[in-house]
Amino acid sequence: MTRLDKDKLETRRLRYFMQVLEIGSVRGAAGALGMDASAVSRAMSLLEAECGAQLFERRGRGIVPTDAGHLLAGYIRRQHSEKQSLLAQLDSIRKVETGHVELVTGEGYINWLTRRPLSRFMRTHPNISIDLRIGSSDEIVERVLDERAHIGILFNPPRNEQFHSHYSWPHPIQTLVLRTHPLAQVASPLRLSDLLPYVGATLHHDFGLRQHIQAAELSEGTKLTFSFTTTSFDALGHFVLAGLGYSLVSRLPMLPADAAKVISLPMKSSLLSRGRSHVITRQGRTLPPAAAELLRIILGDMKAPGRNTSRAVPRN
């Protein structure tokens, strides 16, 4: 019989465990915690003794959780979720004055978020802190499902009953090129095969936009070869403006003078035309009042008449 059967798990060791889990190394977790690596290592050994099972195994230069580690992480997250739910219900009887909101989004939504809903929210709730992270689609979904983020905004998330999409709006994928590019002279809408003779740029595979493009490639029986891949839409914009080739995106944030040099060419693929951006939270999670209020403001701005067509490019 292990100590876990008789005693409560030590709270500090659970916190160290989650830090190691997220960072993927004891040394990195120790740095984030401001501790000595040997102290964190000892804490993990004691925790493994309490659980009666190995919690991590080495993989390459880092460590990953074992099956037992995944079980413990799930337990900790459920405990945290229940605590947050209780606090949210207690706080709901009070006016939203303090709190903290974790928001994760694709890069392309940043301009709109900071200029409109976040600006409005932070002016009216100056004592509420916000952590805004930028990530790929896979990262956004993971953080929302793990409850490390209250709200996620992303392009075409996978079907998953574990999260709830509160609102979505169209974001068709198009081909962006300079007006002087040969593709600008081709009758549109374009097929993916029309792009084959030319140099192109796109996002990495863990971005929903790229995954959407791959689905369209399978549908049309075409395999595009990209000479430039990146995690940055700014880099895609500079690629197009430099006349290096085309990019498959919705729109790119550019200065008016630069935007006048670029043309958006619609695609024939119905898959590329059906791209949508979504606002998601974890299904069944009771958001703290501060996060619920921010979600309300975000959705209100999205649903305002005439707003949807001006949203930023999906960058995730």
Residue by residue, pLDDT tens for the chain (316 residues) are: 344 444 456 788 899 999 999 999 999 999 999 999 999 999 999 999 989 899 999 988 889 999 999 999 998 988 888 888 777 766 654 567 778 999 999 887 888 899 899 999 999 999 899 999 998 888 999 999 999 999 999 988 888 899 999 999 888 899 999 999 999 998 879 999 999 999 999 999 888 889 889 999 999 999 999 999 998 888 898 999 999 999 998 766 666 677 789 999 999 998 898 888 899 999 999 898 899 999 999 999 988 765 543 344 443 4
How many residues make up the chain in this entry?
Answer: 316
Give me the pLDDT at residue 86, please.
77
Q: How many CB atoms lie within 10 A of CB 262?
A: 19
Give me the pLDDT at residue 312, please.
40
What DSSP line would sit under 263-278, residue for residue? Answer: EEE-BS-HHHHT-EEE
218 contacts: CB under 8 Å, gap ≥ 6: none
Please list the alpha-helical segments (H only) found in the chain. 11-23, 26-33, 37-51, 67-91, 110-115, 117-124, 137-145, 208-220, 233-241, 256-259, 270-273, 289-303
Domains of the chain from N-terminus onward: 3-74 (1.10.10.10), 97-170+276-310 (3.40.190.10), 174-273 (3.40.190.10)
Q: Which residue has the tokens 């996060």?
A: 291
Give me the pLDDT at residue 207, please.
84
- pLDDT tens, 281-304? 999 998 988 999 999 999 999 887
Q: What is the pTM of this model?
A: 0.64
Q: Is 161 exposed, middle or buried (0-12, 13-18, 19+ CB in 10 A)?
A: exposed
Peptide bond into 289 cis (omega under 30): no
- pLDDT tens, 85-116? 777 766 654 567 778 999 999 887 888 899 89
